[in-house]
Structure 1
Amino acid sequence: MVDNKKRNGKKPTVKKEQYAVVLDYLSRGYVKSDMSKFGGKPIAQAIGTEQFTLLELAPKNGVDLEIGDTVFIGQGKKDKIYRVLGRLNFERLTATSRIELDYTIRDIVESNEEKYVNFFNTTGAVSTRLHTLELIPGIGKKYMWDIINAREEKPFESFKDITERLPTLTDPAGMIVNRVKQELDRNAIKRGKSKYYIFTQVPKKPRNPR
């Protein structure tokens, strides 16, 4: 699915994050108190492993988190996290989180290689004029048809298989990473190809002031 808009009058099913990877851990909270209403308390900035949701997490008392920790945040007993405080806007990421973001997204993509290779194998058109493959940075009409023709001959089995059969696509995992980063940056102007959401949740619309 390219976006999370309503279809056939029904809301699409949105998978909740079950696990998140810690991007930064602030044992004394944010330095600037205006960054969050949770200032002064330990807080972690993290990214979900399912839909790359940026999150603020409150650890349990006595628990020290480390950058790169994978923590359970789903329903049920949590061993390290007290609660999920909410979604985190891209612009509120700390300098450390921004540095870790690229590496962490790539780790998630490569750890779920089958899922993202399947994207190259099965994804279809957004409209009569635009294919979902064209939403990936670095893929235009020519590469789109190269991928479609190759997968019709035989489905891709791995990122390595994609590169070996299509040498021009030297880093398919990196292409996914770049697309995810584009979608996470909510401040970027969303028009044309950038207005679609392939791998992340559509941001919630701000409430109209009463």
Structure 2
Amino acid sequence: MSGSEPEPDSGSGHESESEAGATENAPTDEEDTTGEGPVFVVLDFLPQGRPDDRQHNAEKVPLAHAIGEENFRLVELTIAQDADVSFGDRLEADGAAIERSSEITYENLTSTAESELEYVLEEIADREERRFVDIYNDAQPITLRLHQLNLLPGIGKKLRNTILDERKRSPFESFADVEERVAGLHDPQQVLIDRVLEELREDDLKYRMFAREE
């Protein structure tokens, strides 16, 4: 990271998102260079479809509520009748198990899916620690007064500046490295997960780092 990185204005510690001047979402997505298609992680499996579906049982189709591993979009998947699916499974979007997918909101999730969401996000963060740690390495200013780091829960001016100073010395290598080098930042993985959950639950956020609208 270059030492000439723009420094946010010191007049505001943690500016609210609704007060920031720019209207563009924070640029954070990296191009997928793995060659693999999208992957969904199952939050809840409904072998008999939705409980409120009044169709005859013979006409119901298996469904699953899931989250996109890369873009954190919540989806309802129509599952093939002969597919063996359970909670926590990683399903390829173009795989045989999925017949159709449609985007849903947090309010549409089943109570089971809602309760399992944070646990699944923790698993994704554990599995892709490098990707998540790089949020701390790569976050950039949004405006002259607001930095992407300030969108993260609990990170104000002091912690933001410490993170910026430390990553100039050397990039963070792990969550443990972040926590050791940034005094006052406890459980940096949970900070990111809390932000993902906030973006999934709130429709009116001006800036999004993870569950971005298209």
Which TM-score bucket, shorter chain as reference?
A: 0.7 to 0.9
Q: Which structure ranks higher in relative contact order (CA pairs < 8 Å, sequence separation ≥ 6)?
A: 2
**Contact kept in structure 2, 1:25 and 1:43, CA below 8 Å:** yes
After TM superposition, what 4+ stretches of structure 1 lie above 4 angstroms from structure 2?
12-17
State the TM-score, normalizing by the size of structure 2.
Answer: 0.78
Cα shift at 1:124: 0.9
| Aligned residue pair count | 183
Aligned equivalents of 1:119, 1:13: Cα separation in 2:
11
Counterpart pick for 1:201 among 185, 195, 212: 212
Cα shift at 1:4: 7.3
Q: Which residue of 1 aligns with 2:188?
A: 172
Q: Deviations over 1:38-87 (max 9, x none)?
A: x932100000100111011111121131001111104xxx1322222x10
Q: Deviations over 1:184-208 (max 9, x none)?
A: 1144xx2xxx421111121x6xxxx
Q: Which residue of 2 aligns with 1:52?
A: 72
- 2:55 is the counterpart of 1:27: no
Query: Match for 1:83: what amino acid?
Result: R
Q: Which residue of 2 aligns with 1:160?
A: 176
Percent sequence identity is 34
**Contact kept in structure 2, 1:17 and 1:49, CA below 8 Å:** no
- 2:3 is the counterpart of 1:3: no
Structure 2, unaligned stretches of length 5 or more?
Answer: 1-23
State the TM-score, normalizing by the size of structure 1.
Answer: 0.80
Matched residue SS, 1:41: coil
Structure 1, unaligned stretches of length 5 or more?
Answer: 6-11, 205-210
Aligned equivalents of 2:189, 2:30: Cα separation in 1:
26
What's the Cα RMSD here?
2.4
Q: Which residue of 2 aligns with 1:207?
A: none
Aligned equivalents of 1:14, 1:32: Cα separation in 2:
39
Counterpart pick for 2:97 among 72, 76, 80: 80
